[in-house]
Amino acid sequence: MRLLKLVLVVTICSTWASAQEPFVFNVDARNVSVNVTVMDASGRPVTKLTRNDFSVFEDGVPQEIQKFESVEIPYNILMIADCSGSTEADWPFMKNAVDRFAAKLRSQDKISVAQFGTRIETLMDWQPWTGNSLKVNLQPDSRTCQGTDFYGAVENSLARFKGISGRKGVVMLTDGMHNSFPKRNMVVQGHGMQRIDNAEADKEFQKLLKVVSRSEVVFYFVAINTDLNPDEIGRPGPQVRAGSGTYNPELIYNMQQARSRMEQIAQVTGGHVAFPTKPAEVAPLYEEIAREFGTNYGLWYSPTTTTGSADNSKERKIKVEVKTAGLIVSQNRYSYTPLPR
Task: Kindly report, residue by residue over 184-243, the tens digit of the pLDDT.
Answer: 887 766 777 788 999 999 999 999 999 998 888 999 999 998 999 887 643 444 444 333
In degrees, rounded to 5, the angle at the alpha carbon of residue 171 between the alpha carbons of residues 183 and 23 is 45
Shared domain for 36 and 131, answered yes or no, is no
Span 63-75, pLDDT tens digits: 999 999 999 999 9
Count of domains for the chain? 2
Is residue 106 exposed (0-12), middle (13-18) or buried (19+ Cβ within 10 Å)? middle
144, 148, 151, 153: CA torsion to nearest 10: 30
Shared domain for 37 and 110, answered yes or no, is no
Span 22-39, pLDDT tens digits: 334 444 456 788 889 999
Shared domain for 230 and 250, answered yes or no, is yes
pLDDT at 305: 60
Residue 156 near residue 117, CB atoms below 8 Å = no
Shared domain for 310 and 257, answered yes or no, is no
Q: Is 190 left (phi over 0), alpha (psi -120 to 50) or beta?
A: left
Span 263-307, pLDDT tens digits: 999 988 888 899 998 888 888 999 989 988 889 999 999 998 655
Shared domain for 141 and 190, answered yes or no, is yes
Q: Which residues neighbour 188 within 8 Å (Cβ) at sequence distance 6 or greater?
A: 250
pLDDT at 252 over 50: yes
Domain that includes residue 323, residue range: 31-70+295-338
pLDDT at 145 over 80: yes
Is pTM, for the whole model, over 0.85? no
Shared domain for 269 and 333, answered yes or no, is no
- State the average pLDDT over residues 56-61: 95
Shared domain for 51 and 139, answered yes or no, is no
The rounded distance, in Å, linking the Cα atoms of 274 and 288 is 10
> Which run of H or E residues covers position 69?
strand 67-69
In degrees, rounded to 5, the angle at the alpha carbon of residue 88 between the alpha carbons of residues 83 and 92 is 95
Shared domain for 102 and 195, answered yes or no, is yes
Span 78-109, pLDDT tens digits: 999 999 988 887 888 888 888 889 888 888 99
